[in-house]
Amino acid sequence: MTESHPLRGKLPPRRLAKEELARTHKSHLKKQDLTPDAPRPVKQPLLDQAYPASTRSIRDLEIVPLSDLRIEEHHRGKGVVVKVISPPYVGAGVISLVEDELGNADKIAIYNHSDSSILSGVPEGCIVAVKEPYYKYNGSGEDYMICVDHPSDVILLRFTDPIIPELLRLGPLLKSAVDWRSAGDKAFIERDFPTAVFWQVLPVWSRSYLSNKQCQALEASDDGTFRAGIFAKRAGTNLVLGRYDAAKADALASRTGASSDWKAYFTAGRACYGLCDYQTSRGYLESALGLDPPATSSVKKEHSRCLSRLYEESTGSYNFEALFDSLSPTNVHLDVASFLSNTRVADSPLHGRGLFAARNIKAGELIYVEKATLMPNQYEPSRASAALYAMMVRQLYDNPSLASTILSLYGGAYQRSGHEGDLVDGVPIVDIFLVESIRNKNCFSAPLSTLDDTRPTTTSGRMAKGLWLHASYMNHSCVPNSMRSFLGDLLISRATRNIAEGEELSQQYVPVKALSDVRQAQFLAGWGFTCQCALCEAESRGSRQMLQKRKEILGRIERVCGKNTPNKGVLPDSAIRTVDRLTKQLEELHETEVYAGLPRLALVYPVNWLIQAHRGRKAHAKVVRYALRLLREFGFRAPADEDANWEPREIYNGKGGASLMTIHVVTALKYASEAYKALGRTDLAARCEEAGRFGYMMVTGFENDLGILNG
Ligand SMILES: C[S@@+](CC[C@H](N)C(=O)[O-])C[C@H]1O[C@@H](n2cnc3c(N)ncnc32)[C@H](O)[C@@H]1O
């Protein structure tokens, strides 16, 4: 609806009656696909429509009837308390019908809870409160609804809550606590976990709402064992749901002081493992083992898994080959810990905070290895961002202990309330627009494995999106000192040159574009900054006229090369001569005073083409010449063709440190090695091969054979 729409701010001219709403809802319910794995669309927020989450308690709001809701208005200072009167329809959101104490009925849509929406787990008859509701007009007829975008704007009320008006209190849904427990057990067996938690929560919540007799019955059975049993079951369900904070709290609450507490410690240990808090996990698992559990082998297995994680965390030792072999489209979340101790977060002269080296790190060494805090197994490009966004919202809601780290990430220009993550009415405040802003500025695209991505046969573009909290502190540079690669949800960062303790670590956010104005526009649009790395800074001093001319020549080169692709057989002499000539012209358009010791990225494309063209014609000496030239264009210390004694790894240690490591450097070294071999210069071939393998390790994260790069 537009700002100027005549209905904005008005009461609806007519509201549908309860029966009319029920008829339409029923017909939607009939059509809905209830298969658990049916892909659910995600309503991703549009930042230009942002409005803040409610930060107030329902108790501080004026409770109004549904008939007071005005079209397209955010009812600040107000709230509604309503009863759910229909089963949920699950689509992009969860839609149910609700009724207030005056008998007014309406629709409510809750977005962004994914499958853990309180409505999807809450049977009819439950009472919910919506804080500062937004009443939306769907654009036609009398179709209005309360639209809940921020998950913390809706809360499930305990039946005992005094805020519930008398007329909405209809009595417990099931008669006794034992019935509730059975309903929970049934839902658990049917793998309907949100409902299981709901039933399991009731006996603990609703005691004072039971009749005296029922209460006595509950008290009578509540010799500790009943209560502990319920907590233990709910802990198990929360563990399955990935609600690790709640699983840990429930497990600890289920302790009775008896030796059977080993179960509680076991569950708490597993919950902490899920939170990647291996130290605490280890403590609980050792407490479980100390109680001589009957399931010793299961606990011991978990304990030894935990010790492996602690070892990885402190040493950075990983078996990357085995991890790579274990990857599959269904196994992308690897069971490993992060290794972060070489780095620290501190204020950056570039912007806000940055990541810094905590010790000297040599070219090629691991800087850090980080397991994604969140990365959905969704490699479909059109769905990857939405899936990550939905997962972030869910995690912030389900595991508030992770909220502060996620919410402290840079969120761009979005105006924070300062209360995000605070617990209000027992629920952490989740502002979905802030979540989306954080996602926007901090997420990375990740192939299933970078290694596979370098194979010429791989279909490119299948990328998941994820959040790596530590990596998110790294600022961008077009001539960075690190390179990231992926193995499933593991981000591996390696040094691309020697880094001194205290130096800021940098990475390229996206593959760096050759022309400075094009890439600056990209940084400004995507991340809101102007890059001032050594290359950008030098190029900003160059002449605009020269840049224009470079652009023009590069355009001409691209047209010739585009018509003559090297993989389509031997290329005609004329095309090679033209590209050669234009490349010389392009080179002359690079001012020496600007580009001394810096990459000349505009030359990468034609030089790469020339390598391939000469390779196709088996012109080995020329392949060597252009391959070594490519190293120089990326800012590396290229050995002279005649230098028989160069140190393979030294090329990565150019003084001034303004180079850009890419897979093209590795491919050029591989081709140079092959060409040297064909020329009978085996020693130089071996040096190129070694330098190439070393570079390939930086690119893919671990040592690999250059043969993979066939082509
Ligand atoms: C993922 S965050 C990096 C960490 C951030 N500096 C912080 O304080 O949390 C990305 C944001 O950092 C800023 N940034 C990154 N690289 C930069 C650079 N080279 N110069 C200026 N700002 C940069 C941009 O505002 C960008 O949107």
Tokens 């279909």 map to which residue? 459
Is the minimum distance from the CB of 529 to ligand 1 under 6 angstroms? yes
Is the minimum distance from the CB of 646 to ligand 1 under 6 angstroms? no
CA-proximal residue: ligand 1, atom 9 (nearest): 410
Q: Tens digits of per-residue pLDDT, 675-691?
A: 999 999 999 999 999 99
- Distance, in Å, from the CA atom of 574 to the CA atom of 609, rounded to the nearest integer, reads 14
Q: Tens digits of per-residue pLDDT, 381-395?
A: 989 999 999 899 988
Provide the pLDDT for residue 394. 87
380 SS3 class: coil
CA-proximal residue: ligand 1, atom 19 (nearest): 476
Dist. CA 660 → ligand 1 center (Å)? 19
The continuous run of DSSP H or E covering 316 comes out as none
Is the minimum distance from the CB of 352 to ligand 1 under 6 angstroms? yes
Q: Is the pLDDT of residue 521 over 60?
A: yes
Let me know: does 122 contact 156? Beta carbons within 8 Å: yes
- Distance, in Å, from the CA atom of 93 to the CA atom of 109, rounded to the nearest integer, reads 6
Provide the pLDDT for residue 207. 36
Is the minimum distance from the CB of 441 to ligand 1 under 6 angstroms? yes
- Distance, in Å, from the CA atom of 89 to the CA atom of 431, rounded to the nearest integer, reads 24
Provide the pLDDT for residue 195. 59
Residue 303, amino acid? H
Let me know: does 264 contact 252? Beta carbons within 8 Å: yes
Residue 295 φ/ψ, nearest 5 degrees:
-90, 50
Residue 665: exposed, middle, or buried by beta-carbon count in 10 A (0-12, 13-18, 19+)? buried
Provide the pLDDT for residue 194. 57
Could you tell me the pLDDT band of residue 38, with boundaries at 50, 70 and 90? low
Mean pLDDT of 698-705: 97
Q: Is the pLDDT of residue 110 over 70?
A: yes
Q: Is the pLDDT of residue 122 over 80?
A: no
Residue 298, amino acid? S
**Nearest ligand 1 atom to alpha carbon 527:** 27
User: In the chain, what are the domains?
Assistant: 1-170 (2.40.50.140), 320-527 (2.170.270.10), 540-709 (1.25.40)
Mean pLDDT of 230-251: 89
- Distance, in Å, from the CA atom of 298 to the CA atom of 266, rounded to the nearest integer, reads 9
Provide the pLDDT for residue 631. 95
Q: Is the pLDDT of residue 653 over 70?
A: yes
Mean pLDDT of 183-189: 66
Mean pLDDT of 505-516: 96
Let me know: does 368 contact 312? Beta carbons within 8 Å: no
Is the minimum distance from the CB of 594 to ligand 1 under 6 angstroms? no
Dist. CA 423 → ligand 1 center (Å)? 29
| DSSP string for residues in 241-277 | HT-HHHHHHHHHHT--SSGGGHHHHHHHHHHHHHTT-
Could you tell me the pLDDT band of residue 178, with boundaries at 50, 70 and 90? low
- Distance, in Å, from the CA atom of 388 to the CA atom of 397, rounded to the nearest integer, reads 14
Provide the pLDDT for residue 184. 63
Q: Is the pLDDT of residue 593 over 90?
A: yes
Task: Determine which of 204-218, 512-526, 649-663 has the lowest per-residue pLDDT on average.
Answer: 204-218
Among residues 265, 511, 532, the alpha carbon closest in space to that of 250 is found at 265
Packed helices 432-442 and 400-407: angle between N→C axes, nearest 10 degrees: 60
Provide the pLDDT for residue 457. 76
Is the minimum distance from the CB of 475 to ligand 1 under 6 angstroms? yes
- Please give the model's pTM, rounded to 2 decimal places: 0.89
Contacts of 635 (CB under 8 A, 6+ apart): 479, 535, 597, 598, 599, 654, 658, 659, 660
C-alpha separations of 272 from 276, 277, 399, 491 in Å: 6, 5, 11, 22
Average pLDDT over the chain, rounded to an integer? 89
Residue 628, amino acid? L
Dist. CA 476 → ligand 1 center (Å)? 7
Q: Tens digits of per-residue pLDDT, 400-436?
A: 888 889 999 999 999 999 999 999 998 899 999 999 9
Percent of the chain with pLDDT over 70: 87
C-alpha separations of 654 from 192, 386, 604 in Å: 59, 42, 18
Provide the pLDDT for residue 397. 87
Q: Is the pLDDT of residue 203 over 60?
A: no
Among residues 332, 272, 327, the alpha carbon closest in space to that of 303 is found at 272
Residue 346 φ/ψ, nearest 5 degrees:
-155, 170
Could you tell me the pLDDT band of residue 225, with boundaries at 50, 70 and 90? confident
Provide the pLDDT for residue 167. 82
Residue 606 gets the label, from left (phi > 0), alpha (psi -120 to 50) or beta, of alpha
Contacts of 206 (CB under 8 A, 6+ apart): 158, 159, 160, 172
Q: Is the pLDDT of residue 544 over 70?
A: yes
Q: In this structure, what token pair is assigned to residue 603?
A: 């030359």
Provide the pLDDT for residue 4. 59
- Distance, in Å, from the CA atom of 190 to the CA atom of 199, rounded to the nearest integer, reads 13
Mean pLDDT of 315-337: 97
Q: What is the ipTM score, two decimals?
A: 0.99
Mutate to test the pocket of ligand 1, among 527, 530, 536 (most ligand atoms within 8 A of CB): 527
C-alpha separations of 192 from 97, 122, 197, 199, 671 in Å: 21, 11, 9, 11, 57
Let me know: does 603 contact 583? Beta carbons within 8 Å: yes
Task: Determine which of 53-67, 193-207, 489-503, 624-638 has the lowest per-residue pLDDT on average.
Answer: 193-207
Provide the pLDDT for residue 3. 56
Task: Determine which of 221-230, 380-389, 524-533, 544-553 has the lowest per-residue pLDDT on average.
Answer: 221-230
Contacts of 261 (CB under 8 A, 6+ apart): 255, 291
Is the minimum distance from the CB of 473 to ligand 1 under 6 angstroms? yes
Provide the pLDDT for residue 606. 97
Provide the pLDDT for residue 94. 85
Could you tell me the pLDDT band of residue 196, with boundaries at 50, 70 and 90? low
Q: Is the pLDDT of residue 534 over 50?
A: yes
- Distance, in Å, from the CA atom of 459 to the CA atom of 81, rounded to the nearest integer, reads 52
- Distance, in Å, from the CA atom of 48 to the CA atom of 51, rounded to the nearest integer, reads 9
Let me know: does 21 contact 389? Beta carbons within 8 Å: no
Is the minimum distance from the CB of 410 to ligand 1 under 6 angstroms? yes
Q: In this structure, what token pair is assigned to residue 15?
A: 């509201």
Mean pLDDT of 193-213: 46
Strand 144-148 relative to strand 105-110: parallel, antiparallel, unpaired?
parallel
Dist. CA 420 → ligand 1 center (Å)? 21
